[in-house]
A = this chain, B = another copy of it.
């Protein structure tokens, strides 16, 4: 027998809306306009999307028999997926939070995004290997080549993966702590790669006698990595160490989320300005000029556009309300919000 449980966000929202008197009756459905008039689904045909672990998450327990509500069912949104529409009176089939938003399962999107991230890493590595002379760690131009590879891999692809951890449907059940550790660990690896990327470019400049930190790209790139270090440290202290008071966590969380997206945006800007700058540097004396658009230029320009596509898709996934982890938010911001989740 499958375990059905009330949706935490739903119950809390209803608690706020209806008050204790209404809550005296157990709230089983996240946006159940007429609980007693529901017709149970009898032996529903299995479908791939409905069988996913994510779908199971949002389903709700009813005393008997269980009605299977959509996993997209959220407070303020009625259940309008095809399978549920007949359960809900027509006048309640509304969807204010995501009206018109295309129903898209996260996991296939995530697989597509993972593929795109791998393509970005492959492109930047192929560019440096085929056209820029490959890799070394000796202060030469081959050492510089680690800079774009490590920055794209760390600050864009791994950073994006870390940002999306809480969007994984199977992270929504059970304790949050292991997922926090995974989020922090992925971000830490991303940060480590970024630091190595900085070491690569500073070592190359110092070995060649080139000044550091003069271009807009360098100012912005360093600012992005510094912001990332502050973000990681503040996140670690606030959400992973047990000593931060709950009111501080609640206050800091939206700031952390905002800077999460901002740092990714700045990383995208840094990557594109860096690729543009590198092509102007490299494609001049002795090689086909950038303005003649040799194959290297087409390839690296395409890399820049792919990085932007990857970043924009991550930002889009982060912003989609129906992919966000349902948080138990019945408690007030200044009460021990996250203590039970440590």
When C-beta atoms are compared, the residue in chain B nearest to A253 turns out to be: B100
Mask of A280-301 contacts with B, CB within 8 angstroms, 1/0? 1100000000111100010011
Which chain B residues border A329 with CB–CB below 8 Å? Answer: 94-96, 99
When C-beta atoms are compared, the residue in chain B nearest to A80 turns out to be: B332
Segment among A17-25, A105-113, A130-138, A149-157 that sits at the interface with chain B:
A17-25
Total copies of this chain within the assembly: 2
Which chain B residues border A101 with CB–CB below 8 Å? Answer: 254
A290 touching B99, Cβ below 8 Å: no
- At the interface, yes or no: A91 with Cβ under 8 Å from chain B? yes
Which chain B residues border A214 with CB–CB below 8 Å? Answer: 290-293, 297
Q: How far is the CA of A214 from the CA of B277 in the complex (A)?
A: 13
- At the interface, yes or no: A341 with Cβ under 8 Å from chain B? no
Q: How far is the CB of A18 from chain B (nearest CB, A)?
A: 7
- At the interface, yes or no: A62 with Cβ under 8 Å from chain B? no
Q: How large is the interface on A (under 10, 10 to 19, 20 to 34, 35 or more residues)?
A: 35 or more
- Given the interface pairs A215-B280, A216-B275, A312-B262, the reply to whether A9 lies near B304 with Cβ below 8 Å is no
Q: How far is the CB of A308 from chain B (nearest CB, A)?
A: 7
Tell which of B17, B89, B262, B300 touches A17, judged by Cβ atoms closer than 8 Å.
B17
Q: How far is the CB of A29 from chain B (nearest CB, A)?
A: 10
- 202-231 of chain A: CB within 8 A of chain B: 210-211, 214-217, 219-220, 223
Q: How far is the CB of A55 from chain B (nearest CB, A)?
A: 21
- At the interface, yes or no: A331 with Cβ under 8 Å from chain B? yes
Tell which of B33, B75, B94, B252 touches A332, judged by Cβ atoms closer than 8 Å.
B94
Main secondary structure of the interface of A (DSSP, over half): helix
Which one of A20, A94, A277, A305 has the greatest number of beta carbons of chain B within 10 Å?
A94
Q: How far is the CA of A12 from the CA of B279 in the complex (A)?
A: 55
- At the interface, yes or no: A251 with Cβ under 8 Å from chain B? yes
Tell which of B14, B16, B261, B305 touches A77, judged by Cβ atoms closer than 8 Å.
B16
When C-beta atoms are compared, the residue in chain B nearest to A29 turns out to be: B17
Segment among A114-122, A164-172, A263-271 that sits at the interface with chain B:
A263-271
Tell which of B93, B96, B220 touches A304, judged by Cβ atoms closer than 8 Å.
B220
Q: How far is the CB of A206 from chain B (nearest CB, A)?
A: 13
Q: How far is the CA of A308 from the CA of B215 in the complex (A)?
A: 15
When C-beta atoms are compared, the residue in chain B nearest to A254 turns out to be: B101
- At the interface, yes or no: A140 with Cβ under 8 Å from chain B? no
- At the interface, yes or no: A258 with Cβ under 8 Å from chain B? yes
Mask of A4-44 contacts with B, CB within 8 angstroms, 1/0? 00000100111111111110000000010110000000000
A17 touching B76, Cβ below 8 Å: yes
- By Cβ-Cβ distance, the 3 closest A-B pairs, closest first, are A96-B329, A19-B33, A100-B250
> Which A residues fall within an 8 A CB radius of B?
9, 12-22, 31, 33-34, 75-78, 80, 89, 91-96, 98-102, 210-211, 214-217, 219-220, 223, 249-254, 258, 261-262, 265-266, 268-269, 272-273, 275-277, 279-281, 290-293, 297, 300-301, 304-305, 308, 312, 315-316, 319, 327, 329-333, 337
